[in-house]
Every structure is written in C-alpha cells, then in structure tokens.
Amino acid sequence: MGRSTETDPALTDTARRWLVRLTSGEMTEREMVQFRQWVEEPSHERIFQRELTNWRKLGQLREGLASSIRLPSAAQILRRRLGRWGRIGATAAVAVCSIMIFGPSLLLRAEADHLAGAELRRVTLPDGSHAVLDAGTALAVRFSDGKRRVELLRGRAWFDVAHNPGPRFEVSAAGGIIQDIGTAFEVARKGDDVEAAVSEGTVRVFASSRPGASQVLRAGQRVRFNDTAFAREADIPVRRVAAWRTGNIVLEGVTIRQAVAEVSRYRSGPTWVWGDISTAQPITVVLRSDRPEAALQALAVSANLSLLKMPGGITIVRQKSAQ
C-alpha cells in the first residue's frame, strides 16, 4: 500500500466524499474551489487519483449487478403518484400530472419527474386502458376535471383504450388531440410533427393547424400534423401500426448511421459513432429491441463495422480498418 498517508482512512474518506459530491449533480462553484484547494496537496492528489480510478472501475459491475436491482415498475410509480393526489374523477382542480420518461439518455432532464429505462414498457392507466411506451418516451397523465387525457411529451406510444362510460380517452401532443372512438392506436412525436395511426377501431384527430375541423381515421389510416400543417399519410397494413410494440425494430431504407442511432436508443449505455460509417446502400432490417447488444452486433457484421466496448457501458462504433 506504500506511504502511510495513502492508507490514511480519514483522507481516503475525504477523497470519497469529494467523489460523491462531484458526481452528485449538486456541487456548487464554491465547493469546486474548495475541492481544487484540497486536491492541490500532493498526498491528497495521490489518494484522489486512486479513488477516482476505483470510481471508474466500478462501472464494470453493471452487468453483474443489474440482475439484483429491482426498480419499481412504471405502473407502480404511476399508481403511487396518483394515490398521492386522489383518484380519477376527483373534483379537485389539481391537474394530476405524472411524467414518466423511459429513456436511455444518461443525464435526463434534471427537474422532470421521470424514470429511466432503455426498453419498452407496458403501463396500465388509471382508467384501465393500456399503453405501450417505446424507449425514450415521456407521457404525462392528466386525468382531471372529468377528462381522460394523457399528453405525449416525447417518443411514441400505442394505446389500447378501455371502454367505459364517461369522457372519451384523449391523447394530446404538440397542440393536437387524438380522441378515441373505440380503438387501439399509436401516437408518435417526430421532431415537431405528430403522427397518429390506427390499428383497430376509429379515432378523431384535432390539430391546431386546422381549427374547427377534425379528421376521422380508421384502421390502417395515418395522419401527420404540426402547428401549421396537416396531411393524410399513405395507409399501412394494420399489423405494421406500431410494429415496434412487439419488440421489433423495423427499419426500412435507412442509412447504417440511422440504424445504429435507432438501436442505440434501446441500449443502456451510450453509443458513440467514430468517423464516417456511411455505406452507399440504404438497408432494411428487422431487429429485436429487447436484445440491443445483439442487434448492434448484427448491424456491425452486415456493414463491416467494429464495436469497441468501454467501461461504463459505452460502445464505440467505427468502420473496420482496411486489412
């Protein structure tokens, strides 16, 4: 263990305290100055170096530890939050607003009320309707004032609406409303646009770009709208509506770069692309979102890429060097 100061438990403890502060997301500028002063002392720096190396090494526990971590399910968290504010139909004017973000991004929005997860989630809404949320999806539940409404903040979701008397189930997204008439349907946010597609039954779509008008959609029909535009899209086979919900990532005519980006949404660690990995031919593939590592591997083999795995779940994707 070397010099005696390096095994000093008090100094080791101080170094670890600094690490906890540094990685807390709460460190202040003033603390940063204090840290810099503390670490200037060479014996402190040596201990800090050792503990920092340990901190980085601990990333390798991920795989082994993941199986023993039991996070509350999205539905449990949703129930817990609803419980706090009362039940559906409560007359209180409080907007019940629970935001769940299921996403692989590591540093999620600091103040949002969210939940990370790189895979699909099936949640049961307070009225018994079901929703399947794709990775990276954020949904706010706003069941209040006699409304059954959820807001799609990010990503895409497929809804299977429970039929019961009372207000119609609605999904709002980017100023538009997709209202259930008896249905299963998908709503997806694509940049500023919203896309709605029906897999069963009928919905009615209201968009702010078409005040006073609405569009009825039946199974297989789609629309795309935003603040200023509204367009019917080509019909698609019903089984292709929200095909992602069964765990298939269907990519048609995309570049390898887009395919890697899509797969990386389902990985728990960051995926970095190094250099130019474009290939001339657009590709069409069907991959499994529940096995993102295998999917990435499959893409790598087909496009002659190499994958470099780093501590902390980071994978670097790059073109194989010419042999």
Partner 1 sequence: MPSNAAALSRLMFAEERSLKRFFARLVDRDSLDDTLQALWIRLQRVEDDPPIEDKSAFLFYLARNVALDQGRAEARRKRLQAEIENVVWGDEYVPALDEVAIAKDELARVLAKAEALPEPTRTIFYLNRMDNIRQREIAKRLGVSRTTVEKHMRRALAALGDALDGR
Residue 106 engages partner 1 in binding (rule: CB under 8 A): yes
Chosen residue from 3, 4, 10, 68 binding partner 1 by CB under 8 A? 68
The 8-class DSSP code of residue 276 comes to -
Chosen residue from 5, 8, 38, 39 binding partner 1 by CB under 8 A? 39
Chosen residue from 34, 37, 43, 65 binding partner 1 by CB under 8 A? 65
- Tell me the window of 71-79, 209-217, 241-249, 275-283 that interacts with partner 1 (CB under 8 A): 71-79
- Tell me the window of 50-58, 181-189, 195-203, 210-218 that interacts with partner 1 (CB under 8 A): 50-58
Q: How many residues belong to the site for partner 1 (CB under 8 A)?
A: 58
φ and ψ at residue 303, rounded to 5 degrees: -110, 15
Measured between alpha carbons, how far is 127 from 219 in angstroms, rounded to an integer?
23
Pairing of strands 230-233, 169-173: unpaired
CB-based contact 266:292 (threshold 8 Å): yes
Chosen residue from 2, 42, 64, 165 binding partner 1 by CB under 8 A? 64
3, with CB counted inside 10 A (0-12, 13-18, 19+), is exposed
φ and ψ at residue 236, rounded to 5 degrees: -130, 155
Mark 256-295 with x for binding to partner 1 (rule: CB under 8 A) and - for no binding: ------------x---------------------------
Pairing of strands 169-173, 148-154: parallel
Angle (CA) 137 259 288, round 5° = 65
Residue 77 engages partner 1 in binding (rule: CB under 8 A): yes
Kindly list the residues in this chain that would bind partner 1 in the complex (CB under 8 A): 1, 12-13, 16-17, 19-29, 32, 35, 39, 45, 48-62, 64-66, 68-72, 77, 106-116, 268, 311, 313
